[in-house]
Amino acid sequence: MHPPKAGHYSTYSMIKKLIRKILGTKSNKGGRNSDEPVILGAADHGIDPRLLSANAVRVTSTLQEAGFEAFVVGGAVRDLLLGVKPKDFDIATNATPEQVRKLFRRAFIIGKRFQIVHVMFGQDLLEVTTFRGTASASAPKDEHGRVLRDNTFGSQAEDAVRRDFTINAMYYNPANEQVLDYHGGIEDIRAKTLRIIGQPEARYREDPVRMLRVVRFAAKLKFGIEPHTAAPIPVMAPLINNVPAARVFDEMLKLLMSGQALACLQQLRKEGLHHGLLPLLDVVLEQPLGIKFVTLALDATDARISAGKTVSPGFLFASLLWHQVLEKWTAYRAAGEFPIPALHLAADDVLDSQTEKLALQRKIGSDMRDIWSMQPRFERRSGKSPHKLLEHLRFRAGYDFLLLRCASGEIDAELGEWWTAFYEGDEATRDDLVNSAQRSGADGAPKKKRPPRRGPRTRGAAAAADSSGQGGQGGGE
C-alpha cells in the first residue's frame, strides 16, 4: 500500500484497522516494520511553525541545499505535535558525520557508541545524527546483550525502527511542513500512550537506560505505558546496574529536571526501578518528615522549571540525600563526635555510596557539601558569624535549604524567619537582630555556668568549648 497523501490520514487509519479486524491480527504498532511512512500535511498535524527554532530550520535547509535529506526528529517533533515549544532540536539526515561537519563553521563530531555531530550557533547547540541502519549482529555487546558500539548507517525507515518509542520516531520537514510517521506515533500521541518500538525485552537488553526513559516520558507527558512495554521492566530492572554510572547519572538528572520530578520518582518506585539508583530513597519516602522534605524540594524544583528559572543539580541531590546525611550525622554525634566533624563524616559516607552508582560530578558533590556544611552554621546568630555566613558564595542555596528544613517540620520555623529578616534587612536591622538573639539566648550557643578555673586551659578544652552548641535544631535531633 502506498503512503497516503496529506489530508487522507483518518481514512487510511480506518482502512488499516478494518484489515486487521478482518484478518484477525492484533494491532502491534511497536512491532510494525513499515518501509513506507504515513505522511501528514500541515492540516493534519497542526504544528505551529512559530514554535520551531530558527537555527533548526537553518541546519535542515543547509543540508537540503547541499543535496541531503534533513528533518527535525524525535522529542522535538513530539513536543511540536503537543503544542509545546521544544527545549532542544535534534536533526536526522542521510549525510555522514564528516559530510555534516564540512557544511558548518562550528561543528564537532563526538561519540563512540554512535557518532553524532554537534553544530553550534553561539550558545545554541543542535545535535545532528546520520540515519542509523539495522543493528549489526556483529556489533560489540557486553555479556548481558547491551550494545557497546554501533556506527552502522542506513535509510530513514531503518532509522525509525532503531528509535525507542513510537512518539519519538517521527520526522518533520520544515521546508514542506510534512510529518513522516512510520510506527503510528501520531495515534499514540492522541491516545496518550507510550509504546516501545519492537520487542520490549530485546530493546531493553540492547540499552537498559530505555527503562528509565519510559518512566521519565510517562511522568513528564502524563501518558499511560502500553502493557507490553511495561511488563518486562520489573524483571529486567537489574540490567541498569551494568550501564556506565555516567549514563545513569545523566538520565537521572533529566528525570529530576523534567518538570515532573516527584511524579518521576513515584513512577520509578511503581515500576521497581528505584533500587540502586538512590540507595535508601525508598526508606526516606516512607518516613513522614522524609517524604514531606523531598516533596517540598521537588515541588520547588518543578515550579522553577515551569517558570523558566535555572535549577542547581547540587541543590537537587543535596535535598534528595539529606535525610541519609541526617541519620548518619545523628549516629556519629551519638558516638561522641563533635557536630561539625560528625557532619563531614556523614557527608563522606553518603557521597561515597552514591558515587559508585551515579557518578556524581565533582562540582555537584562540592556544592552538596557546601549546602550541608552550612546548616549548623545557621544556628550561630551572635557576633560576626551571621555576617560572615552571608558572604558565603553558596549562601543562597544554603538558606533555601534551611527554609525547606523549616517548612518540613524538621527544625523550628523561627530560625528560618530570623534568617529571612537578616538576609532582607539593612545593616541596622541586622545589628538589632544579632543583639536580640544574644539577649534571648537564641544565638546557637547555650549559656552554661562556667566552672571555676583551676589551671591552664588545655587545647582540648578550648576545642570542646568552641564546638559546643553548634548542633541544636540543626543537628536534626
3-state helix/strand/coil string of 310-355: CCCHHHHHHHHHHHHHHHHHHHHHHCCCCHHHHHHHHHHHHHHHHH
> What pLDDT is stored for residue 208 in this prediction?
93
> What pLDDT is stored for residue 454 in this prediction?
45
DSSP letter assigned to residue 280: T
User: In order of start, what are the domains of the chain with their CATH numbers?
Assistant: 9-198 (3.30.460.10), 209-277 (no CATH), 282-447+460-475 (1.10.3090.10)
CA angle 322, 323, 324 (to 5 degrees): 90
User: Which residue would you say has higher pLDDT here, 303 or 274?
Assistant: 303
Quick check: 21 pLDDT over 50? no
Give the type of residue at 365.
G
Kindly give the interhelix angle for 245-256 and 339-358, rounded to the nearest 10 degrees: 110
Q: How far apart are CA 12 and CA 18, in angstroms?
A: 10
> Which residues on adjacent β-strands are paired with residue 91?
72, 128
Quick check: 13 pLDDT over 60? no
Quick check: 17 pLDDT over 80? no
Segment 54-66, tens digit of pLDDT:
999 999 999 999 9
Read off the pLDDT band of 443 (50, 70, 90).
Answer: low
Q: How far apart are CA 446 and CA 465, in angstroms?
A: 11
* Secondary structure (3-state) at 130: strand
Pick from 239, 265, 267, 266: nearest CA to 252? 265
- CB within 8 A of 203, min separation 6: which ones? 164, 196, 197, 210
Cell readout for 33 is 516494520
Region of residue 207 (phi > 0: left; psi between -120 and 50: alpha; otherwise: beta):
beta
Q: How far apart are CA 200 and CA 295, in angstroms?
A: 32
For the chain, how many residues are written? 477
**Cα–chain center distance at 464:** 43
Q: How far apart are CA 39 and CA 312, in angstroms?
A: 41
Greatest Cα pair distance in the chain: 101
Segment 327-364, tens digit of pLDDT:
999 999 999 999 999 999 999 999 988 776 677 888 99
Q: How far apart are CA 25 and CA 237, in angstroms?
A: 31
DSSP letter assigned to residue 291: H
Cell readout for 180 is 513522516
Cell readout for 438 is 544574644
DSSP letter assigned to residue 84: -
Cell readout for 145 is 546483550
- According to the per-residue pLDDT averaged within each range, which of 27-41, 127-141, 272-286, 298-312 is highest? 298-312
Quick check: 103 pLDDT over 60? yes
User: Which residue would you say has higher pLDDT here, 150 or 220?
Assistant: 220
Pick from 411, 385, 386, 394: nearest CA to 475? 411
Tell the residue number behind the cell numbers 519510559, with chain if given.
214
- Average pLDDT of the segment spanning 80-102: 95
Cell readout for 358 is 551515579
Q: How far apart are CA 143 and CA 105, in angstroms?
A: 41
> What pLDDT is stored for residue 31 in this prediction?
43
Tell the residue number behind the cell numbers 536534626, with chain if given.
476
Question: Which residue intervals of 25-171 are DSSP H helices?
Answer: 42-45, 54-65, 75-81, 97-103, 156-162
| Whole-number percent of the chain with pLDDT over 70 | 79
> What pLDDT is stored for residue 276 in this prediction?
64
Q: How far apart are CA 80 and CA 71, in angstroms?
A: 13
Query: Where do the DSSP E strands lie in 131-223?
Result: 170-173, 178-181, 193-194
Q: How far apart are CA 37 and CA 424, in angstroms?
A: 60
Least confident of 45-49, 425-429, 442-446: 442-446
> Which residues on adjacent β-strands are paired with residue 218?
none
- Average pLDDT of the segment spanning 275-297: 74
Q: How far apart are CA 300 and CA 219, in angstroms?
A: 17
Catalytic residues: 88, 90, 164
Quick check: 34 pLDDT over 80? no
> What pLDDT is stored for residue 364 in this prediction?
92
> What pLDDT is stored for residue 35 in this prediction?
77
The phi and psi torsions of 328 (rounded to 5 degrees) equal: -70, -35
Distances from the Cα of 111 to the Cα of 127, 128, 142, 147, 439, angstroms? 11, 12, 18, 14, 62
Cell readout for 425 is 534587612
Q: How far apart are CA 314 and CA 398, in angstroms?
A: 11
From the CB of residue 245, how many other CB atoms can be counted at a distance below 10 Å? Answer: 15
Rg (CA), the chain: 28
CB-neighbour burial class of residue 284 (10 A; exposed 0-12, middle 13-18, buried 19+): buried
Contact 367, 347 (CB under 8 A): no
Read off the pLDDT band of 262 (50, 70, 90).
Answer: confident
- According to the per-residue pLDDT averaged within each range, which of 126-140, 148-162, 373-387 is highest? 373-387
Give the type of residue at 329.
W
Give the type of residue at 377.
R
Full-model pTM: 0.72
